[in-house]
Structure 1
Amino acid sequence: MTDTNLPLDGIRVVDLTVVWSGPGATALLGDLGAEVIRIEGNNRVSRQASARTTNASVANSGWSRNTYPDGKPEPRPYDRTALFNWHARNKLAACMNLETPEGHEAALRLIEISDVLVENNTNGVLEKLGLGHDRLLELNPRLIVARMPPMGMTGPMSNYLGYGPNFNSLVGIAAMDGYEGEPPDSAGENYHMDESAPAGLAFAVLTALWDREVTGRGGLVEFAQAENVMQDIGEFFLDYQMNDRKPAVLGNTDPALLQDAFRTAEDDRWVVVSIRDDRDWAALTGVVGDAGWTALGRTAADRRANSRALRDGIAAWCAPLSSDDVVRRLAAVRVPAAEVMSELRLLADPHLAAREWFKARSHPSVGTYRYPGHPWRADGFDLAFGRPLPGFGEDNEYVYKTLLGYGDEKYDDLVSRRLVTDEQFA
């Protein structure tokens, strides 16, 4: 991975995660130097792309087609999809079908010599596979088992199945997630649980590893994703209890600040402007110049009372200007303003280029592209960013022969029976 001495050098993580929240968490552990090994059955879709996906089948699928290089999933669509690629950096992959005796045996042997297991499947999946955390901790008392059930492992909702937007409804986010003056569902689908979980789970694993240094023992980390994301809207729970006030559907506005997103002269280019206090307002009016509507916002109370009229005035001022011009003028007087950036704009952004945030990496299955960088930096070491993804089964020999000690004859037998392959069948 890297020659740098990283904080998690020597820590091995078994990755049994799917979709976004779990893989995002293990990517962060890999950034810190952990050896993250995905174990994947060739009989299941574990990378959000089926082996049966073809160029023809996605030709008219819009967004789905655009998740593949040049819109072409073939060959090896499970390696080529951006849905998997973005969180696959620094990981290894080995083929283990956990529903076969051979795959189950190999998984147990790998877990026995590992430090962490991360999984974000539905409650009961590990138990059905004979990999419940109680058994694993008997096998390896130093193991940290990090489980990410959406609604927790106990309680009347603990067996709920669903998708990110469904759980948004259960935790209250969907009730406030819409455009101003429109129904709560008007802003489209979003995935707050998946966005919030990776950093939280990675932090929980780090604390468990730290505790293990003191106690010598691992244990279970139960990371209920719904409860975790409720922290992101904690002020609304308190506001309701203290003031009996239900959250309004505010869209891009704010209950305290004068704020909104405004269209500029360029096609589908928007800027966000926030007025925090009287100083910001005076600075904005100095830039805007003589306009009849500015008199409506002299005080914070005026700005709250006349919010719609004031935002209409700012929108009219922004409309004939470029986004760069709006941001430049307001930044010069220290009024918070920024463009609502698209992916194409970010790829061309000079600030990110100067910081070398995007990382150009190559893989035979995908080609060469710029991948999203790390979420943070640290003095004293560089975070790992080696191979951008593991091809399906790319590390079979290393895992089976080097780590598990399988001889050539045993390994070749598994390969001949297609229990160990570098191709996904599902």
Structure 2
Amino acid sequence: MIGPQALAGIKVLELGTLIAGPFCARVLGEFGADVIKVESPDGGDPLRQWRVLKDGTSLWWSVQARNKKSITLNLKTEQGRAIAKQLALEADIVVENYRPGVLEKWGLGYEQLKAEKPSLIMVRLSGFGQTGPLKDQPGFGAIGESMGGLRYVSGFPDRPPVRVGISIGDSVAALHGVIGALAALRDRDQTGQGQMVDVALYESVFNLMESLVPEYDVAGVVRERTGGALPGIVPSNTYTTGDGENIVIAGNGDAIFKRLMTAIGRQDMADDPQLQRNDGRVPRTADIDQAIAQWCASQTIDTALATLQQADVPAGKIYSVRDMVQDPQFLARGMFEQHAFGDGTPVKLPAVSPKLSATPGGTRWLGPALGEHTGEVLRTLGYSDEAIAELRQKGAV
């Protein structure tokens, strides 16, 4: 049973597919917002068929669309667009991730809706934002990750750049959309006015790139790929233990470095005056990494972690999902929710983050069937069952 939620009473209309827009609306829904997701009658959101399926529907869908009401609208029809406009004017927030200009053609653009409802907030997620020479170009997360700088620094220096194994660009953009929506809600509480939140995928990735710009501007440094290491911060790398597991060790604090070197039997390095500070360790990165790698190769993952934990050195095994679902820390923090599909099949979902002490988020229901709530939502707009049946017959819903 879910108690009071932080965004209860906030109405969100989701116009979008796949990842960025729907993930943004998902987070709002996880904290209590009433999210209505508009889908095409012709198959709905393509994410329904992505990756691993159960009974023809993606398992991803159960998470990405949880707490949402699915209605079908054919936005290529005048009646479908009229209903979408009704819903938008009743909403607090509209989340959309169409190419710039598409909603304007349908009479659903921000300025068009704002003229009738000045308090409306619209979160617009796109590859390159609503302005600029690339605004009309398609921009998936992979392009945002590449243009925003993440792909360039990912991987090993002697190989082509690699991607993170998830759609990180879309997800980061979605979280920026949530930040913008909450900030806009706060401002609306004070001014009564809504605003547009313009999120570009490449800019969201770019926002994560730490000291990339000032390092280049002042020192002419272009950050390059460094494999598992953290450049200029020593030691912080990934090593392989004798039983073939991978372990991350972050011994880059000055006091931590001394404890690490002592723990692995390299008191000479622990006491070396040159290595007492990070700027002295950087020129000897290879020597330090070699010493740690040799020690790790002589340990199992369990003995290595136990030794480093005893020495108060930050270290961790690189987890697969198999590790996560049985890990005591994940379990103690309640990081999984147990639910069931309509046929009774149990399913474990990731719990909602972050954790709020008074109004935590949660899952009220799993991702819905296509159009499951169409009748329910349309009746709240004043449509009779006969009118809904007529709309279905005309292909508008």
Structure 2 regions of 5+ residues with no counterpart? none
Counterpart of 2:58, as a letter, is T
Equivalent residues in 2 for 1:233-272 (5 A)?
A: 233-254=209-230, 255-267=232-244, 269-272=245-248
**Partner-residue secondary structure (3-state), 2:21:** helix
Give me the whole-angstrom Cα distance separating, in 2, the residues matched to 1:24 and 1:365. 26
Deviations 1:153-206 (A, max 9, x none): 111122221322222232233322222x32351456764422322222112111
| Contact 2:12 2:35 survives alignment (8 Å) | yes
Equivalent residues in 2 for 1:300-319 (5 A)?
A: 300=277, 303-319=281-297
**Partner-residue secondary structure (3-state), 2:181:** helix
Shift of 1:115: 1.2
Partner of 1:19: 18
Partner of 1:59: none
| Contact 2:23 2:174 survives alignment (8 Å) | yes
Structure 1 window deviating more from structure 2 (272-281 vs 326-335): it is 272-281
Deviations 1:15-65 (A, max 9, x none): 112222222211111122110110101225513245xx9xxxxxxxxxx4x
Shift of 1:320: 4.1
Partner of 1:404: 381
Give me the whole-angstrom Cα distance separating, in 2, the residues matched to 1:263 and 1:98. 54
- Structure 1 pair 290–240 and aligned structure 2 pair: CA distance change class (3 A): closer
Structure 1 window deviating more from structure 2 (295-304 vs 193-202): it is 295-304
Is structure 2 residue 134 aligned with structure 1 residue 154? no
Equivalent residues in 2 for 1:106-125 (5 A)?
A: 106-125=83-102
TM-score of the superposition, structure 1-length normalised? 0.85
- Structure 1 pair 182–190 and aligned structure 2 pair: CA distance change class (3 A): farther
| Contact 1:365 1:391 survives alignment (8 Å) | no
Equivalent residues in 2 for 1:45-84 (5 A)?
A: 45-50=44-49, 64=51, 67-69=52-54, 74=55, 77=56, 80-84=57-61
Given candidates 360, 364, 368, the residue that maps to 2:342 is 364
Counterpart of 2:201, as a letter, is Q
Is structure 2 residue 154 aligned with structure 1 residue 177? yes
Structure 1 window deviating more from structure 2 (218-227 vs 145-154): it is 218-227
TM-score of the superposition, structure 2-length normalised? 0.91
Given candidates 127, 132, 135, the residue that maps to 2:112 is 135
Partner of 1:58: none
- Structure 1 pair 49–266 and aligned structure 2 pair: CA distance change class (3 A): farther
Give me the whole-angstrom Cα distance separating, in 2, the residues matched to 1:325 and 1:99. 62
Q: CA RMSD in A?
A: 2.5
| Contact 1:294 1:310 survives alignment (8 Å) | no
| Contact 2:126 2:139 survives alignment (8 Å) | no
Give me the whole-angstrom Cα distance separating, in 1, the residues matched to 2:387 and 2:28. 32
- Structure 1 pair 292–5 and aligned structure 2 pair: CA distance change class (3 A): closer
**After the TM superposition, which parts of structure 1 deviate over 6 Å for at least 4 consecutive aligned residues?**
291-297
**Partner-residue secondary structure (3-state), 2:236:** strand
Shift of 1:365: 6.8
Give me the whole-angstrom Cα distance separating, in 2, the residues matched to 1:39 and 1:127. 17
Shift of 1:248: 2.1
The percentage of counterpart residues that share the same residue type is 26
Partner of 1:104: 81
Structure 1 window deviating more from structure 2 (107-116 vs 281-290): it is 281-290
Counterpart of 1:22, as a letter, is G
